[in-house]
Structure 1
Amino acid sequence: MNAPPPGQRPAVASREVATRLTEAVPIGVQVGLDQLGTPLEDVEWVVVDLETTGIGASASITEIGAVRVRGGDVVDEFQTLVDPGEPIAPRITALTGITTSMLRGQPTIDRAYADFARWAGLEDASGFALPTPSCVLVAHNAPFDVGFLRRAARSTGHDWPAPRVVDTLALARIALPRPLVHNHRLATLAGHFSTSDQDRHRALGDARTTVEVLRGLIDVLAPLGVRTIEDVSTVGAPVPTRRRRRVALADDLPRSPGVYRFLDAAGAPLYVGSATNLRSRVRSYFTASETRAKVRRMLDVTADVQVTPTSTLLDARVEELRAIRTLHPMFNSASTHQDRTMWVVRRGGSVDVVPVVGADDALDALGPFRGSSHAGRARDALQATYAHDGDAPLAGPSARTDPQRASELGGALRGEHCGVVDCLLGRMASASEVEDFEGATRWRGLLAAYLSGLQRRADVVPMAAARRVVWAQHLDDGGWTLHCSSWGRLVRTVSTPPRTSPLPWVESLLSEEPLPRPPVFLAGTTWEEVRLLTDSVTEAGTRLVHWEGEVPLAAPVDSPLARTRLLVNLDLAGRRGA
């Protein structure tokens, strides 16, 4: 193929920008799932530049300059010289103008890094690294600057928090391919974007220039759908152009909690999900962060996205479960078998596995389990403990003629004591002592199934057996969110105004008639919905307003779930239960 004439090369290069978006060029550090889709106007950028004694790993920092940008505006600046404890080479002085005498008496890297880290929001006031810094570090040739900062942190005894990073050099190679610019040095890009004059080769001056270059690069990429920090972080990753352009489906979506549905051309639901921010979450599907092959196939046939805003995230999660249960979208994998439950119940003095239990029977049942095999292992754990003969087969007779053991069996189903756990741990130890490792593994599997059943019972039975539960969660802007459930089904959510007593709303919820009690346990709900409600009630900061139920949320004192060492045993058992 012949090269285009010189006069047409800039136009060709402009068209290549869209093509280059599909090439895999790493840019900074990809953000986590909990930070997907943050709009650029909400990002706090910390644009940093360093001056050093050289370029090798043994070189030292001589100056740190940084600019904090929020909402597109410069809000603060940071600058400090650093005494490296060694003379500055003449060639470095010629480049930066920094001399050895200028650095004498300046802070050492211990003090300089600590000051910068606290200013940038990488550490708290006590000097501890924040696990998820809110800022995004920006630098031109970021591996160089961030590498020096990381080494400085470690050499001075600080933990490096691994913030999100954007490299304007890598970004420029995508947004401005040659010959739009003849190279991608900071000075060249500054000239291309006609930035204001700054003190070149000094840290703060170069950081200010990088801020203006970053703005220019974002403006270039904006028409191509780059509008969030996640887009910037993955702009060079391989995403088909047709998929990236369809991000426009999310443009008019609200930034509120709710349920979203991907639809095909006939309007049939393909996938249902929920999110705290509908617009951001839907946008994230059309970026490189979406790596699931099944979801990518779904996106190729998506024609529309419909959303249902909700007042809270809990309402969104519940509506998601109900929609999946009703619509059966072909691309949903999770929560597609919410009605599939198995229980372990007592039949006289024996135990059995059944698919449904009555409303009263559930109070003495173990589960629910996802399938009969998991429930069967929990049943075997009980039979191994309470059969007449400890060496009897697991399918053998149980304590039908022993009232005391029958009572203990009932307590084991309810998780009131540790008889099953102690028995199985003993059998695991005995098998290990004679090097019967296959047998020890088998006992461990039974223990895991039993403990998992107890945990599921604790998550599901109290809420689903309660006639009515009302709980409150305080809002950041004031006021309360009140949730009300009946027999394990969320029936209403209300939010109260700030600086107003919530009692009238509580009284209103309590004045409404609860749902009729279903004769079959979980008939009006699913165990997944009940577990969401339990998580909400037990969340830190939640106020339990009203509990009208027979079964308390708290586990009995002697329950395996109340003993930390036995929860550790659940992990050791490989979490093989449902």
Structure 2
Amino acid sequence: MRDVLEPSSPTLPLAVVGELDPVTPLHEVDFVVVDLETTGASAATCDITEVGAVRVRGGEVVAELGSLVRPPGPIPREITALTGISDAMVADAPTVGQVLAPLLELLRGAVLVAHNAPFDISFLRAACVATGRDWPAPAVVDTLRLARAVLARGEVRDHKLGTLARHLSARTTPTHRALDDARATVDVLHALLGRVGSLGVTTLGDLVQVAPAVPEQVRRKRTLADGLPSAPGVYLFKDARGRVLYVGTSGDLRARVRSYFTAAEKRTRMAEMVQLAASVTPVVCATPLEAQVRELRLIAEHDPHYNRRSRRPDRLPWVKLTAEPYPRLSVVREVRADSDDGAAYVGPFSSSRSAQAAVEAIQDALPLRRCTPRLPLRPAAGASACALHEIGRCGAPCTGAQSPEAYAEVAARARAALTADPDVVVGAARARLTALAAAERYEEAGQVRDRSLAFLRGAARAQRLAPLAAAPEVVAARRRPAGGWELVVVRHGRLAGTTTTPPGADPRPAVEALRATAEVVAPPVPPEPACSAEEAERVLAWLEGEGVRLVSVEGTWACPVRSAIGRAGMGA
């Protein structure tokens, strides 16, 4: 870690005791300017690769923090091209949990500043949840919004950080590296504060008022947050008839719900939801993992109109290799018990379109039949082959041209590709891509690539979740930042129980009590977990997370050595 908490003025304390007072003069306010580099745009699926932060007061730098961060997965090539941050650079870097501790300390008692602040905050909040920390919910100044409010129309062509840095004569040029961009944002912040200072904006409260006003009908509903606990958990917005409008999760329920009634909330659908809301129900959770899982279950149960994801996890499609004399591939919505008779499944997929693309990738590699009727072992009299047989894409078992034994060999290779080794599909895709590229048929090559990626992602998902789903019980523990342990019992992929122990206490009695009181979970139909795939993935991510220790495993929990796992992001 480089430049971590190096104070440029040791006489200035890093923290201010007590809540920030709106009448505090701006020259007495501590601002911490933060910039992050990440592997992508979504905090739900991407990770932090670099953190830069500068704490300033009265125009002077108090401390700086800068560190590369080792993400759990590879950095996409396009991100490396943009930022210059490669996998080799972060190989020995600290994890996000190790960098969060000094960053959160730097933020204590300060106003967080960022350019397009919702982006950076979403990643920091996600990192806090992933590492079991509480997000401090500091006051926030977004220099992007501030610039739009302060600069005259047409003064700049856009409000990107680089454009503002040049226009406002920043001393540091943004480089898509976190500390450089944080330093540039400091200069932009000071220049904008100089502009608003000439308009009489001299206090923290004045600065907040520069932002657009909160509509009166929204501001009146701030009382819905009154009485909510400042604790981690799930919150449910409900209308006057008690119907659930929206379900969310937070490390601080009261602070998060209050944020919906401020100018910081810019989402149109959320503004509409708040106007319909009549009450907020909190569900306090023992651990962050419990909060994440409860959120998913409540969304699935209530199907809230204003939640865009996870509303129908039970309707996601699977790809099935049927159990019949001449198996075929089909897209289904349910894993059935006939898998014990030889059917194989991969998925679930995010959409029917991606499931169908995976089917086509397998059919490109193997001559499986594509007709839908169930074929008898003895071909029907007068049966004729389809055009696929003529072009070598099907052995025509329907006519007896292919023996049951020969077709069983093809089906066995398909089953192996689905459940273990995807090489037959990947190899066929590579050969096809090479031929299409040589012929400069790039559009077709793109379709082949997309089909193979859809297959790999579905197979990888199934191969990661199936072993956990098969395990009757996994008990694990992770040390909490403040001491003590976070304990989890997982049964067939489902979170069956979780609790915490206080610092210094022996966790073993708590483990035994948790096992005795955890939910009894019936074995699911393989390879499906005893919960939604998204819940199982959240649980699996926690189990694979930093600092997690396995206490006990009942059954076997292991993935195939040669599998689609780790290859889904590599392409064909």
Q: Same fold (TM over 0.5)?
A: yes
Question: Counterpart amino acid of 1:567?
Answer: G
Q: Distance in 2 between matches of 1:243 and 1:399?
A: 71
Match of 1:71 among 3, 13, 17: 17
Shift of 1:453: 0.3
Residue 569 of structure 2: aligned partner: 567
Paired residues of 1:421 and 1:560 also in contact (CA < 8 A): no
Question: What RMSD in Å do the two structures reach over aligned CA positions?
Answer: 4.6
Amino acid at match of 1:424: A
CA distance in 2, matches of 1:172, 1:334: 42
CA drift at 1:287: 2.4
Question: In the alignment, what sits opposite 1:356?
Answer: 334
Indicate the SS of the match to 2:571: helix
Q: 1:374 aligns with which of 339, 354, 358?
A: 354
1:144-543 equivalence runs, <5 A: 150-151=170-171, 159-161=180-182, 184=199, 214=203, 217-218=204-205, 236-347=211-322, 348-358=326-336, 361=339, 364-387=344-367, 392-393=392-393, 401-511=406-516, 514-519=520-525, 522=528, 524-543=530-549
1:192-243 CA distance string (max 9 Å, x none): xxxxxxxxxxxxxxxxxxxxx64xx44xx7xxxxxxxxxx668513531331
Q: CA deviation at 1:160?
A: 3.8
The answer on whether the counterparts of 2:230 and 2:254 sit within 8 Å (CA) in structure 1 is yes
Percentage of identical aligned residues: 31
Aligned partner (choices 559, 562, 566) of residue 558 of structure 1: 562
Say which SS state the counterpart of residue 492 (structure 1) adopts: strand
Within 2, Cα distance between the matches of 1:396 and 1:70? 78
State the distance in 2 between where 1:265 and 1:171 align. Answer: 43
The 4+ residue runs of structure 1 with deviation greater than 6 A are 64-67, 130-133, 141-149, 163-174, 394-399
Gaps of 5+ in 1: 1-43, 49-63, 79-112, 177-182, 190-212, 222-231, 571-578
- Segment drifting more, 487-496 vs 367-376: 367-376
- SS of the aligned residue for 1:569 comes to coil
Are the aligned partners of 2:477 and 2:548 in contact in 1 as well (CA < 8 Å)? yes
Partners of 2:476 and 2:549 within 8 A in 1: yes
Decide which structure has the larger Cα Rg and report it: 1
Give the deviation of 1:436 after TM superposition. 2.3
Secondary structure at 1:261 match in 2: strand
Rounded to whole Å, the distance in 1 between the matches of 2:485 and 2:330 is 45
Do the aligned partners of 2:365 and 2:424 also contact (CA within 8 Å) in 1?
Answer: yes
Deviations 1:173-202 (A, max 9, x none): 99x9xxxxxx656xxx8xxxxxxxxxxxxx
Gaps of 5+ in 2: 21-26, 29-55, 69-92, 94-98, 114-140, 151-163, 369-388
Counterpart secondary structure, 1:460: helix
CA contact (8 A) 2:463 2:563 kept: no
> How many residue pairs align between the two structures?
417
Distance 1:153 1:418 in 2: 47
Q: Deviations over 1:299-349 (max 9, x none)?
A: 112122121111111111111111112222222221111111322222354
Alpha carbons 1:380, 1:395 under 8 Å: kept? no
- TM-score, reference length from structure 2: 0.62
CA distance in 1, matches of 2:60, 2:416: 55
Q: Quick one: distance in 2 between partners of 1:154 and 1:519?
A: 53
Residue by residue over 1:259-311, the C-alpha shift from the partner in whole angstroms, topping out at 9 and shown as x without a partner, is 11111122221111111211222122222332222221111121221211111
TM, length-normalised to structure 1: 0.61
State the distance in 2 between where 1:65 and 1:310 align: 41
